[in-house]
Amino acid sequence: MRRTIGVVTTSRADYGHLYWVLRELEQCPQTDLRLLVTGAQLSSEFGFAVREIEKDGFEIHERIECLLSSDSDVGMAKTIGVATLGFAEALGRMRPDILLLIADRYELLAPASVALALRIPIAHIEGGEISEGAIDDAVRNALTKLSHLHFTPTESSRERVLAMGEEPWRVHCTGAPSLDHLVHRRLPGRAELEADLKISLDEPPIVVSYHPVTLASDTLRETDPLFGALDALNGPMVLCFPNSDAGSRRLIDRARAFCDTRDNARLFVNLHPVRYWGLLKQAALMLGNSSSGIMESSSLALPTVNIGLRQEGRERARNIIDVPAERQAILSAVSRARSAAFRAGLAGMSNPYGDGEASRRIVAILAEAPLGEKLLHKRSSCAPVSW
């Protein structure tokens, strides 16, 4: 019998990571894909990104609206509550054999908690990572302990999951599925991107991907140095919408105001994963505090300036230049990233996050894993502690 695999997507970012997993689940004769869409995917404020999923031809089985139009931490907390109610109904109807979650968005605490109550086994992608400057780190670790199968992006992250007491047979180093686009899709070239995005790429742009620092009491405390540096930089820029976190609306307003003053700066609400990858391939460098700057940029040997607290602790390749959230430090790092010597030093580099075949590995394991109580019944692999 085919096993039902429910998959949750909350945003344009995780959809880019899940795209090839979804394709593999569709094509696998042993799995029956059930897609649940929630969070910013269903928000007009954040571009109603669910339309990209529909354009790609995936059937959406449940739409769980939960995202409050708020810019506060209280709004984030209430969103989790609304999502919990919605997922209780949706998963109560669906009852998949396995529920697949990815990464570390706070909204995922809702489906994970509901699945726990409904005795639905959880599989989790990208556990064992570290991002010390965001609440994502705690969310990711909570999801790990609630999950029954683990697909980690690196060997180091697998070791961290094992150190949390997870049984070795449950923990698999597969690589990060976002990298699969480079192997399985043709990326759009310069002319195609220019026509599609209506921008000029005569000069390679700086791609700016920056999000609120959710662990800080003021989630935008590092924003002034960023925009101070952007004001001093020349050349074209492409800015991407932030995640739907506390402070994101004020950050969006500031990004729009900045772009209004610059003829060669554009703000995009949503970029399809393939367009985003294509844009990175054309870019001069990447700037911000996004996980994509750490995980994806290395596959293109793209110089990346990572700012501030948010990604502290995450594994890095040598294309990453870490700087504090200080205007002059950012400008100095951008100058270094733009230099021919730095670019030349990236020749032949590899990405520690995988080889572009993660989705195939993940789905093969989902298709063969034991179900029911055997998967649900977890035993700690940690040695007992003597006090």
Residue 65 has pLDDT above 70, yes or no: yes
Proportion of the chain above pLDDT 90, given as a percent: 96
Nearest to 153 by CA among 132, 172, 135: 172
Tell me, yes or no, whether 385 lies in a domain.
no
Whether 306 and 361 share a structural domain: no
Q: CATH code at 367? A: 3.40.50.2000
Whether 148 and 106 share a structural domain: yes
Per-residue confidence (pLDDT) for residue 62, from 0 to 100: 98
Please write the tens of the pLDDT for every residue from 93-137.
999 999 999 999 999 999 999 999 999 999 999 999 999 989 999
Nearest to 111 by CA among 78, 80, 70: 80
- In the predicted model, what is the mean pLDDT of residues 69-76? 94
- Domain count along the chain: 2
Tell me, yes or no, whether 81 lies in a domain.
yes
Whether 149 and 217 share a structural domain: no
Whether 309 and 371 share a structural domain: no
Residue 331 is encoded by which pair of tokens? 């400008």
Per-residue confidence (pLDDT) for residue 387, from 0 to 100: 47
Please write the tens of the pLDDT for every residue from 272-302.
999 999 999 999 999 999 999 999 999 999 9
Whether 72 and 131 share a structural domain: yes
Please write the tens of the pLDDT for every residue from 160-203.
999 999 999 999 999 999 999 999 999 999 999 999 999 999 99
Per-residue confidence (pLDDT) for residue 382, from 0 to 100: 66
More confident site: 387 or 135: 135
| Residues 107, 139 contacting (CB under 8 angstroms) | no
Specify which residues 123 forms β-bridges with: 100, 149
Please write the tens of the pLDDT for every residue from 299-330.
999 999 999 999 999 999 999 999 999 999 99
Map tokens 């940029």 to a residue.
297
Mean pLDDT of the chain: 96
Per-residue confidence (pLDDT) for residue 384, from 0 to 100: 54
Residue 381 has pLDDT above 90, yes or no: no
Tell me, yes or no, whether 382 lies in a domain.
no
Residue 20 pLDDT class (50, 70, 90 cuts): very high
Tell me, yes or no, whether 82 lies in a domain.
yes
Per-residue confidence (pLDDT) for residue 80, from 0 to 100: 98
Residue 1 pLDDT class (50, 70, 90 cuts): confident
Tell me, yes or no, whether 383 lies in a domain.
no
- In whole angstroms, what is the distance from residue 104 CA to residue 17 CA? 12
Whether 11 and 157 share a structural domain: yes
List, in order, residues 6 or more apart from 383 with CB less than 8 Å away. none
Residue 64 has pLDDT above 70, yes or no: yes
- In the predicted model, what is the mean pLDDT of residues 346-356? 96
Q: Domain containing 324: what range?
A: 188-344
Tell me, yes or no, whether 258 lies in a domain.
yes
Whether 297 and 331 share a structural domain: yes
Whether 166 and 259 share a structural domain: no
Whether 141 and 244 share a structural domain: no
Tell me, yes or no, whether 293 lies in a domain.
yes
Whether 136 and 228 share a structural domain: no
Q: How far is CA 238 from the centre of its chain?
A: 19
Tell me, yes or no, whether 183 lies in a domain.
no
Whether 329 and 369 share a structural domain: no
Rounded to the nearest 5°, which phi and psi values hold at 354?
135, -175
Nearest to 94 by CA among 31, 21, 155, 5: 5
Question: What pTM value is reported for the model?
Answer: 0.95
Whether 163 and 193 share a structural domain: no
